[in-house]
Amino acid sequence: MENKRRVFKKLLEETVIPEVIPYEEREPLFKPLIEYVHSITPQKLFRYRDCSETQFDAFYNDRIYAGNAQKFNDPYDCLIRYDKQYIYDSIEQGASKDHIKWLRGRLKKGESLPEFIVSLYGEERTKILQETILNATDEDIERNNLIFGMSKEDFFNRIDEYIFKNAESFTRQSNFIACFSETIKSITMWSHYANSHKGFALEYNLKNLRIRCDKCPNISTCKDKIVHNLYPIVYDNKRYDGTYFVECFLGRHMGLFTKLDDVMFHTKTALYKSPQWSYEKEWRLFLDKQNSYGLPYLCTEIRPVAIYYGKDISAINKKILSNIAKEKGLKEYQMYIDVQSEKYTMKYKKHEDS
């Protein structure tokens, strides 16, 4: 599978979808990547769960909740990397005399300064800056770079703060992700994500993923439809470079009509993780729908095919889960440790009541 992930990484990096390309022309650009992902998707993917009322309810109703990276245990997850000096240079170009003249023209038409400037300066400073720009002559503008209105150091400190509060948090909140693993035998996974072997895991067949939205006759027009994509994680020491996204993000908030060089930036940001996490053998299901930014989670319905009980699950929790599994007609397995084995690995067997 490692070689397949390397091929996927190459295809992922080669798949670039500029925002200026119309939607109907994007599908052929996506096609090689999507077809390859479908060909390498494992027949079995597992989702580790703890024993709680929320998880029991999700299991009973075949629900999969996808949250954003702010709730994940990796502080680097979906955290964008960018070239700060390049951004500074781009901003200085945006703060050129021609741009100040453009702002003056905007104000003379009765329009306000872009929200980005208000965020940087605050309302009181913005009023002063607005009056200064509005009343500036061409000679004034040639003599001064009025957009700063403060020391360049203070200005860029505010830029840093703005990026931290907005661009960085945007990438961490714009993805709704449900995590799966290729393995059910990981001691670490059972420890971290199933309450130290006291929880359970569900097996899914996502090879030919079909969810409720796929089957809906109104999928092409429904504003509430959920778009889904499944990808493997790229474990790499080099983080994804999102400099151009940050440049575009700031440009738009400065009132410029900037376009993304790649609409897949948020997905790519979420697919690169440190090799320190490679033991997870992770796949990610991305859910998306219109106007979902800021929501706590998105939800879809996918029926599992089997359940695995943690080695130390309590009798009562196992009974609750087993009753649900039997109602659904699922296969049931019990995880255990083979004390005679020289290897550190979990094993499983059919649940004795199955």
User: Distance of CA 278 to CAs 65, 160, 310, 336, Å?
Assistant: 23, 32, 22, 23
User: 329: phi > 0 → left, psi -120 to 50 → alpha, else beta; which?
Assistant: left
In order along the chain (354 residues), what is the average pLDDT of each group of 10 residues?
Answer: 90 92 88 92 96 97 92 88 83 72 88 74 77 82 60 74 76 89 96 97 87 62 71 94 84 71 90 95 90 80 96 97 97 95 91 70
**Beta partners for residue 46, in sequence order:** 181, 203
Spatial separation of the C-alpha atoms in residues 250 and 228, rounded to whole Å: 28
Residues 199, 189: contact at Cβ < 8 Å? no
**What is the tally of helices (H) and strands (E) in the chain?**
14, 12
Q: So what's the pLDDT on residue 149?
A: 57
User: Distance of CA 157 to CAs 100, 127, 248, 255, 271, Å?
Assistant: 21, 21, 19, 20, 30
Would you give the distance in Å from CA 198 to the centre of its chain?
Answer: 29
C-alpha torsion angle, residues 78, 5, 187, 351 (rounded to 10) = 110
The H-or-E segment that residue 226 falls in is none
The H-or-E segment that residue 309 falls in is strand 306-309
Spatial separation of the C-alpha atoms in residues 30 and 57, rounded to whole Å: 36
Spatial separation of the C-alpha atoms in residues 3 and 234, rounded to whole Å: 11
